Amino acid sequence: MVGLIDRDSRVWAVLGPTNTGKTHLAVERMLGHPTGMIGLPLRLLAREVYDRIVKQKGVGHVALVTGEERIVPASARYFVATVEAMPLDRPFSFIAIDEIQLCADPDRGHIFTDRLLRARGQAETMFLGSDTMRPMIRAMIPGIEIERRERLSTLSYTGVKKITKLARRSAIVAFSQEEVYAIAELIRRHKGGAAVVMGALSPRTRNAQVALYQSGEVDFLVATDAIGMGLNMDVDHVAFASLSKFDGRRHRPLRADEIAQIAGRAGRFRTDGTFGETADCPDLDAETIERVEGHQFEPVDALEWRTSDLDYRSCQALIASLEAPSPHPSLKRSRGAIDEEAFRRLAILAWVQPLTRSSVGVRRLWDACQLPDFRKAPQDEHVHLIEGLAEHLLKPKGLIPSDWFARRVNELDRTDGDIEQLQQRLAAIRTWTYVANRSDWVDENRHWQGQTRVIEDRLSDTLHERLMQRFIDKRTSALLKGLKRENAMEVDVNETGEVTVEGHAIGRLVGLRFQADPQASGLEERAVKNAASQALRPELTRRLEAIATGGINDFVLSDLGVIIWRGDEIAKLMGRQPLLKPKAVMIGGELAPEDVMKRAQERLDNWLLEIVARDLVPLKALAEAAEGESLKGLARGVAYRVAEAGGVMDRAELDADIKQLSQDDRKALRAVGLRFGRANIYAPALLKPRPARLHALFAFFAGGGDPAASAPFLPPLGVTSFT
């Protein structure tokens, strides 16, 4: 680090497991200095810390420097950077490096080791990370002060659980995209949905997915080990669906410290967390469980290293300097770095050699080889991409033409396609975002910085939407959340009866009967019905109260014995009831309070009696006469039998009784509405259209008729006889 370093400058390390507040402490220490810089392992974590400091210090005092983004105000005092992008040529009073255990990472370790050895603040330097780094840090920096931080909450093992039995606020961890997607689909079917977090997603998409989880829109997170670093979430339980991963070189089991890094996402601050296995994950052994719970791991015994003292006099000189031996037994010379391999392959090309005879050309080619492989492409493909850039960067002007760059960028400005295609475009546009953010690489670089960022954001947002569409049932999720709330859900029933709850259509309310969306099934169907049960009670109560106070003309009786109210079926005639004392059976309404249902039921029963009294007066009078004192003896018996028959009987069936009737008996029967015809004895008033149809309908149900089996025969209006 360039700049004067005070001889009393403090160099110290804060080591411990996740959830110990190390990064927060470093930020607070930095803000206590006039200037400072913190190096972080991930772009999204850098952005998170940057946003936090901006809120405290103001946008003009904070810089963000990553490979793909540069925000550097002229008055910036505090720099937040990814470790690779840290501007080491500037002096800072304070410097911190987070996740220093990445010094042992095969791919990026040499960068972190370089910062451990060389990055120093003028007044204070701070390293943050796992306690496994304690011996190596002491070996590299003799006399360093080391403080151990204990986890603020307990992390404990709870065993194996089925995915469908996992409690809400759980994160399920797998190590392949296919497995992550399969688990997310399962969670969608059984739990309503899940957020998805993978390293292959852009930071913006990852943050949007995490926000879904944090907001409570979904209760489950399915992720790769990308959640193990730099994502602050309220996770109660981490369930491992696998305990092995492909690390870019080979497929291998997870180490105990890697398991702990991921499991440590469970629990925040003083809230305890748990971890365990799920799906087809092999059982964790007792020793590993004990290590994870107790945060006891094998110490790091070697650090990845590569010299930073590079010789740019020629390509051969640079390669020779890269092969410099390690100056310490614990520093392991890094092998197989993609930038080295690309440089070696390009340096021998015939067209490259004349352009790299000066240190300027060599440095330019080496810079081009630093291009990150966001696409995770085969090595040949990545080297070919670097070669395409070098063709422009090594020319005298040294800039990529704007029209050439435009063609590469514009072909990615599309939001069609599936999730995999969007991921591929995002990885590609991140490459061009990196290129555009190199100030001396692209013609009109400021324009292209903005353009690539717009495209990346658009693709990220589209990918987020696609992930939600595939792995989140918004309706089910919203309904489940609403059911858990104490306050009532938002319900609307429009004029056509369509029911929406929390803005989601769940079915139709037809009369008093809820018809659930037929497309809902499984968990969704249960959520819809449960939501309807809770949400529709007020509306059903309102309707039933209106029925309970309805007038005689508010209801209509159909030809099939169904009672219609406001155009909808609300009840039907009960079978095998006395013809003059019909009763109704409610259709629906069960979701409403019992007392309101009872009042509505009583009103419909009374309404049926009202139409009997209005339209079946002759039959009612005949029945009352048969049971009263106005008729005597045989006349009373005839009246009773005719009333029981519904007001009309074949005269032959009563012939013997009729012959014995006196003139006074006949007169009395005529007085109650009966007439003696040649073939029948009947009540003429019942032959009028409305009484005739009503009488036939009631008689059908009184006799046990079932309209579902055969419709009741009702005389056509105006017809008084049939042949």
- Min mean pLDDT across 187-201, 538-552, 594-608 is at 187-201
- On the question of pLDDT at 567 being above 70, the answer is yes
Note the pLDDT tens digit of each residue in 267-284: 877 889 999 999 999 999
Backbone angles phi, psi at 197, to 5 degrees: -130, 120
Nearest C-alpha neighbor of 264 from the set 413, 103, 154: 154
**DSSP calls for 586-640:** E-S-TTS-HHHHHHHHHHHHHHHHHHHHHH-HHHHHHHHHHHSSSS-HHHHHHHH
- What angle do helix axes 445-471 and 177-191 make, rounded to 10 degrees? 50
Note the pLDDT tens digit of each residue in 340-357: 999 999 999 999 999 999
Question: Are the CB atoms for 304 and 106 separated by under 8 Å?
Answer: yes
Note the pLDDT tens digit of each residue in 192-206: 899 999 988 888 999
* Residue 419: how many other CB atoms lie within 10 Å: 18
CA of 644: how far to CAs of 266, 554, 627, in Å? 78, 30, 12
Indicate the pLDDT class of residue 720, thresholds 50, 70 and 90: low
Q: What percent of the chain has pLDDT over 70?
A: 95
Name the pairing type of β-strands 155-160 and 584-586.
Answer: unpaired
CA of 554: how far to CAs of 361, 379, 568, 615, in Å? 93, 80, 12, 16
The pLDDT value recorded for residue 524 is 61
Cα–Cα dist 236/479, whole Å: 22
Class of domain 10-148 as given by CATH: alpha beta
Tell me 165's DSSP state: G
Q: Report the range out of 354-358, 625-629, 645-649 with the highest average pLDDT.
A: 354-358
Question: Are the CB atoms for 472 and 211 separated by under 8 Å?
Answer: no
Residue 720 CB burial class (10 angstroms; 0-12, 13-18, ≥19): exposed
Note the pLDDT tens digit of each residue in 492-504: 888 888 888 777 7
User: Furthest-apart CA pair in the chain: how many Å?
Assistant: 142
> Which residue type is seen at 531?
A
Indicate the pLDDT class of residue 27, thresholds 50, 70 and 90: very high
- Fold for the domain defined by 155-294: Rossmann fold (3.40.50)
Domain with CATH 3.40.50.300 in the chain: 10-148, 155-294
Token output for 548: 């309970």
Cα–Cα dist 664/631, whole Å: 10
The pLDDT value recorded for residue 481 is 67
Helix (H) or strand (E) holding 464: helix 445-471
Indicate the pLDDT class of residue 3, thresholds 50, 70 and 90: very low
Note the pLDDT tens digit of each residue in 126-159: 999 999 999 999 999 999 999 999 887 899 999 9
- On the question of pLDDT at 163 being above 90, the answer is yes
Q: What is the mean pLDDT of residues 579-594?
A: 92
Q: What is the mean pLDDT of residues 401-407?
A: 96
Note the pLDDT tens digit of each residue in 60-81: 999 999 999 999 999 999 999 9
Nearest C-alpha neighbor of 130 from the set 228, 43, 197: 228
Tell me 715's DSSP state: P
